[in-house]
Structure 1
Amino acid sequence: MQTNNVTIHDIAAALKIDSSTVSRALNNSPRVTQKTKQRIWAKAQEMGYQRNVLASNLRKNKTNTIGVIIPRISRFFFSSAIEGIEETAFENGYNVIMCQSLEKLERETNLVQTLVANRVDGIILSISMETLDYEHMELARKNGIPTVFFDRHCDIPGNNNVLLNDYQGSFDATDHLVSQGCRNIAHLAGPRDLKLYQNRFNGYKEALEKNGLPFQPDLVIDSNLMEEDGANAAQKILETLPQVDGIFSANDVAAVGAMQFLKGKNIKIPDEIAIVGFSNGPTSSVIDPALTTVDQSGKKMGRLATELLIKQINAKPIPLAPETIILEPTLIQRDSTQKKPTIHPNT
């Protein structure tokens, strides 16, 4: 039995019929009788014929493939977004090519070029921390490849976005710290060149003002929000900002780093310093004390981004009007902010 690289010509030769008839039968053409189709399908299966899906798709100018570029797959938010992307893509007959920029603009640019060269039908992208201009995305636009940005906002006219209301999430987180009695709240901020971190900073600042608390610039500590950045920020707070009684971190990773450092210095959380993160990753619920955080709905965001992209792909060659979807955040309250009431003896 022949099992490798069987073509329609091999099947035609075995059956002593025309190869065009074999092609029509394998594509279920009504021009071929059911009896002939069944004979051809049986012979194709016997010979181990595998349809060349790539060649077929390229003839249709469609690959049924979506390219996805994320900063880091190790981040819980992005891994949960990928789950939503892949599930939705599979349900709609699309394959997914997954790429990591590792927060580098040069790498992101090369990945966009690679995806375009591989003729993906669309791109889902969360930009790197270094991405301050979007010239590299012109290549996708010029090749008629729709793009959906998610999580991190991009100032490109006419682009499609699926975003979280980061301002509201940060406002709610800071407002919650105030409700727990915190009056000097430090903010572990991300790079404010990115709109996402600008919005989280603005939400923090507005919540202070709404509660009649002064904004103190020295309580804002900028970094790339890695775990070691959180630890370094906590060290700075203990050494130079002793008034701090609350921390709002723009992600969970830095919040956990800060918590670990503070616990190592015997600082009681939340009684001495209460802490809120942002993401609701799995670590946030198992660390002691469990971390209060803002849920980002990563899987839902990935699903919506894929649905929006497929809608844009199916609309070709006439593009749909650009669309922006904004999800509302949810504050998950846990032990890192729930200060215990003082219990006096004999009461």
Structure 2
Amino acid sequence: MTNNKDVTIYDIAEKLNLSTSTVSRALKNHSSISKKTTKKVNDAAKEMGYTPNTLASSLRSNKTKTIGVLISRINRPFMASLISGIEETAQKAGYNVIITQSHDSYQDEVDMAQALYNSRVSGIICSLAMETTKTDHFQQFIDKGIPLVFVDRVPKEFNTYRVMIDNYSAAFKATKHLIEQGCTRIAHIAGLKFRNIYNERERGYRDALKQYNLEVDEDLIVHVKTMSYEEGEKATNKLLDLETPPDGIFSSNDTTAVAAIQVAKNRGLKIPEDIAVIGFNNDPISHIIDPGLSTISHPAFEMGKTCSKKILKHLKRSKIDSITEITFLNTEVIVRGSSKRK
């Protein structure tokens, strides 16, 4: 009959006729315990099938060596790359990563933030849900001295670490590229205005048109809620149904940009001759669609690594002051067949 009871340091101490404190120190290779005793204890622990109770240890010390990650949806290519960057850096430093999803729901985000707080994470990395307008639920991490990093979708004002790209500059470059390809009536499939990254992308689009003396036509700007393929289809159909349809589309993500290409092609339009399209993120789908989708690079993996490094560096600091630190990573225009006319 198998004994399913976990082996404890008390069992090892009883077997070797040692005190529990000696066994505990020996298992940690403490210098106060002789090498002979340390070896004897570790050999017995291995033979008996002892595994350290890291949870109990972490509860005692209030440190779990775990980084909590709270993102919108794990099945988005950008988020998958972001998580890979976070994990690679965290694991090399001996930290585990817990991943939670908000599904772009404010209430889910509140619940998951609380769950991570209750799990005593050493730090937290968050990309805000699309619905989130209030960030009070993150204040408990700051109050407890737990490092908090917002990434990509960040709040406008919050005294903590923020890792992002210059969305304004990236959108300006994307719109400028379409102008340089000869587009004069450029539409924008935009995200919700209260979400800072989409607001900045729309601002970059508007300013590029103004700088090149092109009209900003409000009919050419369509706001969508979740940036899904279905929303991209609806937005593109709306734009192409206009009395004077656009000859170029800048979309705030690749998913809706691919939808725009498919809708235009189904309507018998040629890409990029009749309508040029550029997206945002450089998701894998941008390589697969025909013609290939022009897009803006979005260094998700590097952003993930940067987030972990911020937390790890913070945890090593002895004195913690108020933090308002923003890190910007570079982007570039990737030109493919969907927009290349010249």
What is the TM-score of this pair, normalised by structure 1? 0.94
| Native 8 Å contact 1:122 1:147 kept in 2 | yes
Query: Could you tell which deviates more after superposition, 9-18 or 165-174?
Result: 9-18
SS at match of 2:44: helix
Once residues 260 and 166 of structure 1 are traced to their aligned partners in structure 2, the CA distance between those partners, rounded to angstroms, is 26
Residue 231 (structure 1) aligned with residue 265 (structure 2):
no
Aligned residue runs from structure 1 range 288-303, under 5 A: 288-303=290-305
Aligned residue runs from structure 1 range 331-346, under 5 A: 331-339=333-341
Amino acid at match of 2:18: I
Q: Determine the structure 1 residue equivalent to 2:78.
A: 77
Deviation at 1:283, TM superposition (A): 0.4
| Native 8 Å contact 2:160 2:322 kept in 1 | no
SS at match of 1:98: strand
Once residues 10 and 170 of structure 2 are traced to their aligned partners in structure 1, the CA distance between those partners, rounded to angstroms, is 62
Amino acid at match of 1:123: I
Unaligned runs of 5+ residues in structure 2 are: none
Q: Determine the structure 2 residue equivalent to 1:96.
A: 97
Aligned residue runs from structure 1 range 1-347, under 5 A: 4-224=5-225, 225-315=227-317, 318-319=320-321, 321-339=323-341
Once residues 58 and 165 of structure 1 are traced to their aligned partners in structure 2, the CA distance between those partners, rounded to angstroms, is 40
1:294-331 deviation digits (Å, cap 9, x = unpaired): 01110000110111122222225634643210112111
Aligned length: 340
Amino acid at match of 1:75: R
Deviation at 1:4, TM superposition (A): 4.2
SS at match of 1:138: helix
Once residues 339 and 262 of structure 1 are traced to their aligned partners in structure 2, the CA distance between those partners, rounded to angstroms, is 16
Deviation at 1:8, TM superposition (A): 1.1
| Native 8 Å contact 1:166 1:199 kept in 2 | yes
1:138-165 deviation digits (Å, cap 9, x = unpaired): 2222232221000012123422100111
Amino acid at match of 1:105: Y
SS at match of 2:316: helix
Once residues 251 and 321 of structure 2 are traced to their aligned partners in structure 1, the CA distance between those partners, rounded to angstroms, is 39
Deviation at 1:19, TM superposition (A): 2.0
Amino acid at match of 1:173: A
Once residues 160 and 241 of structure 1 are traced to their aligned partners in structure 2, the CA distance between those partners, rounded to angstroms, is 46
| Native 8 Å contact 2:299 2:330 kept in 1 | no
Task: Give runs of ≥4 in structure 1 deviating > 3 Å.
Answer: 1-4, 319-322
| Native 8 Å contact 1:248 1:277 kept in 2 | yes
SS at match of 1:315: coil
Deviation at 1:168, TM superposition (A): 0.9
| Native 8 Å contact 1:151 1:163 kept in 2 | yes
Amino acid at match of 1:191: L
1:47-99 deviation digits (Å, cap 9, x = unpaired): 11111112222222210011111111111111110110111110111111101
Amino acid at match of 2:78: F
Query: Could you tell which deviates more after superposition, 128-137 or 199-208?
Result: 128-137
The share of aligned pairs that are identical, in percent, is: 41
Once residues 304 and 48 of structure 1 are traced to their aligned partners in structure 2, the CA distance between those partners, rounded to angstroms, is 38
Query: Could you tell which deviates more after superposition, 152-161 or 72-81?
Result: 152-161
| Native 8 Å contact 2:254 2:283 kept in 1 | yes
| Native 8 Å contact 1:4 1:48 kept in 2 | no
| Native 8 Å contact 1:182 1:245 kept in 2 | yes
What is the TM-score of this pair, normalised by structure 2? 0.96
Query: Could you tell which deviates more after superposition, 276-285 or 36-45?
Result: 36-45
Q: CA RMSD in A?
A: 1.5
| Native 8 Å contact 2:232 2:259 kept in 1 | yes
